[in-house]
Structure 1
Amino acid sequence: MKLRTLQLLLFVLCLIISTIQPLSAMEQKRFIPAGFQLYYGSDPQVLDQLQQRIQPGQVIVIELRGLSPAQIQKLADRAHQEKAKLIAYLSVGELGQIEYQNFQQYLQQHAPQISLADLTLSKNETFQSWQMDVSQPAWRDFLIQRVKQIYQQPVDGLFLDTVDTVDFYITNQAWKIPRRVQSVKAMVALIREVKAVSPEKFILQNRGLNLIGNSVFVGDATGVFVPGLNLQQVHPHNPDGLLWESAYMHAGDWIESKEREMIQIQKQGFTSVFTLGYTDTNAERNQFFQKSRAAGFIPAWGSSTTRLHLELTESE
């Protein structure tokens, strides 16, 4: 009887070990970010500096437009050598000047009955770009095409910028609430659709903090709740990272609640939280790094949002 009991215990132990081993292997393969750099420009000297600064575990954001294939390959080789991730910029909520002609050509070829004016909401005068309605199929299809084109380059993922256009959808009083809901849901779906194109790629979402919780309130004094990305829970097509740009610049109940939410997101470990601070804001550099590190966030610092194409961001 004792022998049979011992045999049963050994069998159960073997089952437990066989279950644990694959999980350990998966954990070893999982990329855990340890640093962050961002540079939108193409100056050869700055690119050389960027390459020299690449360290293990870093996520490095670049703008592919303006870079030669050789420059991209050189950065990619160094990143992969250092076990870092090189990811490419993509604006999902705004159409910038750099993509303007490409999108106009896309419309002529695939949706000639639609004009750019039909898809835009307003102009971002600071960056001379157009806020786009992501619920429009022509814009979404164009973006997915761009994702596939970008993935032909030796990059490890994407930096999804201008996700905060969703804030305009939420508060746009020219739209009735059901219309706002349509575009908010479309932004959530678009982020996940981009991730689904190639799930092994690293997706870093910039801003869009209204989307990060379990639900999103859409309306004014009254409204409705729609499902958010819920970054505290595992989802195969949620972004791998979230950037809080201009972190610690503002105070107030809303941003403080979002900060607490991001701390919990970081602790859960499904989505890593990055922070980017700027000299020309109310944030103080030392305090920015102290708060970021205390929260477990991954920080970087720049002089201004308008100089990201001229100089590298800095670590602590």
Structure 2
Amino acid sequence: MSAPAALEPITAPGGPQPTARQRNWKPVLWSLPPLLVVLFIAVYPIVRVLAESTVTPTGRGTSVWSQVLGSESFRNALWRTVFIAVSSTAGCLILGAFLAIVLAFVPFPGSQVVGRLIDTVLTLPSFLITLAFTFLYGTAGAVNALITSITGNNEPALNFLSTPLGVILAEITFFTPFVVRPLLAAFAQLPREQLDVAASLGASPWRVLRRVVLPEAWPALAAGGSLVLLLTLNEFGIVLFTGAKGVITLPALIYTRGIVTFDLPGAAVLASVQVLLSLTLYIGYRLIFARFTVEKEN
């Protein structure tokens, strides 16, 4: 005699049917604390800034937005911010690609030490780079002192730290490792067999680099460049220490309006523009990265 089959629940016709599975609320409850933290730390300050930017102070006939966005100081700061960010990113891409290619494919004694030094820069605060630039290239720095001792001219030969060029050079020095590290990771995953086959077929090193290495490195190069562009667009420490009053970017103008002159509505408008630029750049980065991923999979 066979074992009795499992009894099925019997319900009266038209009666309530038993639910197949009770809803589990534990994942929802576990997600509430981090969600609240994100809302309090990230979302609330942005909403507060946007709300502050809509306040019209007493005595101003026009809105804060039209007054701030129509000012010459805003236009100059916006143009200077974009120019410095794009120039610094281009310099980081060129220098970072060169360093990554040399470290990955041109073995030389001490290459691992150089790689570790590049990684160390990622852990340093940006103002240390500016201080190093001041000690080296400042009007009273070591390089000017050496040139003065050689030429006898008391006027400083180098005086570019308080210009956009000084800020760009400092940002290139500090942010280049953010390009080198992703490229080295991409080069490490490149099969050496492809390079050997291309070299055995008579391809020159430049052709191998252009046709084999760089196509595999485009996603990492785009990711590093987008990150550097986002960071340089919002950089304040290097501009404050290096450019001083000679270079006014959007972050520096926000600091001046909010802290120095205590114009909170005007600073909120500038901060809103800065957030909009950052979000636009981030969305563009995500779209480019998604496109590279789809093309690589196909």
Q: Which TM-score tier does this pair reach, normalised by the shorter chain?
A: under 0.3
- Which is richer in strand? 1
Q: Which has the larger radius of gyration?
A: 2
Give the structure-2-normalised TM-score. 0.24
Q: TM-score, normalised by structure 1?
A: 0.23
Please state which structure has a larger fraction of its residues in helix: 2
